[in-house]
Every structure is written in C-alpha cells, then in structure tokens.
Amino acid sequence: MSNQSNQPLAPRSETDAQESVFSDAAWLTVVHDDPVNLMAYVQWVFESYFGMTSTVARERMLAVHRKGRAVLAAGGREAMERDVQAMHTYGLRATIEQEA
C-alpha cells in the first residue's frame, strides 16, 4: 500500500478508532523511539491520527520515550498496516506485530 503524494494519511474515522480498541485482535501497531522527532510532535501525531485525548497521547508518547516502544492500536492486519503506513508518512518509526 503506497501513499504516492507523501502526505500523511487521513486520520482514522470514529468507526476505525472504535474497531481498534484492545480486544481479541491478532495484530498490533507499535511505535518505536527515535532520536529525531520531538516529544511534542509525537504526541500531536497520536492526537491527530488516532484521535487520542491529549492525556492519553502524552502517556503513550512517554511510554515510547522511556521504554523505547508503545502499542498504539490492535486490530485486523490491514488496519494495522494502514496505521503503520500513516506513522511512516508522519516520520515516525512503527511496525506491525502479531499479538502473542
């Protein structure tokens, strides 16, 4: 899946966000720490794309900063691949992992 315009993908819709709550999903979107992006920017991305509140986005950003990674979403493989692609267009390091 390619984003030819190199513009960030559209933020998730409410339906997408509701479908990715941590449940019995088999795939995870994981964001990893990097030496480039500012913490405020990472928090803004989480708020803008995932629709998180500033409090939740800050908690996840701090988890990435302190632990080196944080799980941001869980769901079907295609949805998680879409999330990872979006994080890449925002310049963040992200991977998809199968839930253990």
Domain boundaries, the chain: 14-98
Beta bridge partners of 27: 75, 98
CA quadruple 88, 61, 37, 69: dihedral sign: negative
Mean pLDDT, all residues of the chain: 87
Residue 79 pLDDT > 70, yes or no?
yes
Q: What is the mean pLDDT of residues 3-19?
A: 56
Q: What is the DSSP letter of 33?
A: -
| Of the ranges 14-18, 19-23, 45-49, the best mean pLDDT one | 45-49
Residue 61 pLDDT > 50, yes or no?
yes
Structure tokens at 73: 């979403």
Report the CATH fold assignment for 14-98.
Ribosomal Protein L30; Chain: A, (3.30.1390)
Span between the terminal Cα atoms of the chain, in Å? 25
The pTM for the full model equals 0.75
Residue 7 pLDDT > 80, yes or no?
no
**Residues 22-32, buried b or exposed e (16+ Cβ, 10 A)?**
eeebebbbbbe
Q: What contacts 4, CB < 8 A, 6 or more positions away?
A: none
Structure tokens at 21: 């709550």
- Residue 17 is predicted with a pLDDT of 57
